[in-house]
Amino acid sequence: MESILIPQTQLPKGLKAQEINLVGDFNEWNHSDTPMKARKGDVFEATLELQPGRTYQFRYMVNGEHWFNDKSADSYASSGYGEDNCVLILGDA
């Protein structure tokens, strides 16, 4: 299980999150399949069951319309749409 955390402070300036969805190749880029839960301290969290030894691409969608990337991603890869996706690199179990 992997916990993905994103603090409100990482959101683009002036954007207040009502909801954040974690969107990536692990959920076939479904915009609503992986909602993040608001936690204390203005942090959003999602827990995923991901396979070790793989890399995953993802982005965050805020309030159903604003995309943004995680500043602490392991790497970045071109999305093919003029933006980069975040990359999560998981080691072997």
CATH number of the domain within which 32 lies: 2.60.40.10
pLDDT for residue 32: 94
Residues linked to residue 45 through DSSP beta bridges, in sequence order: 5, 37
Tokens of 65: 């319309």
Write the pLDDT tens digit of every residue in 38-87. 998 889 999 999 999 999 999 999 999 999 999 999 999 999 999 999 99
Secondary structure letter of residue 18 according to DSSP:
S
In this predicted structure, the answer to whether residue 14 has a pLDDT above a threshold of 90 is no
Provide the residue range defining the domain that includes 67: 2-89
- Cβ–Cβ contacts within 10 Å for residue 36, how many? 21
In this predicted structure, the answer to whether residue 21 has a pLDDT above a threshold of 90 is yes
> Residue 1 — very low, low, confident or very high, per pLDDT cuts 50/70/90?
confident
Q: How many CA atoms lie within 13 A of 56 on its CB side?
A: 21
Q: Answer whether 46's CB lies under 8 Å from 22's CB.
A: yes
Dump the DSSP string for 63-92. TTTEEE--TT-SEEEE-SSSSEEEEEEPPP
Number of domains forming the structure of the chain: 1
pLDDT for residue 93: 66
Global pTM reads: 0.90
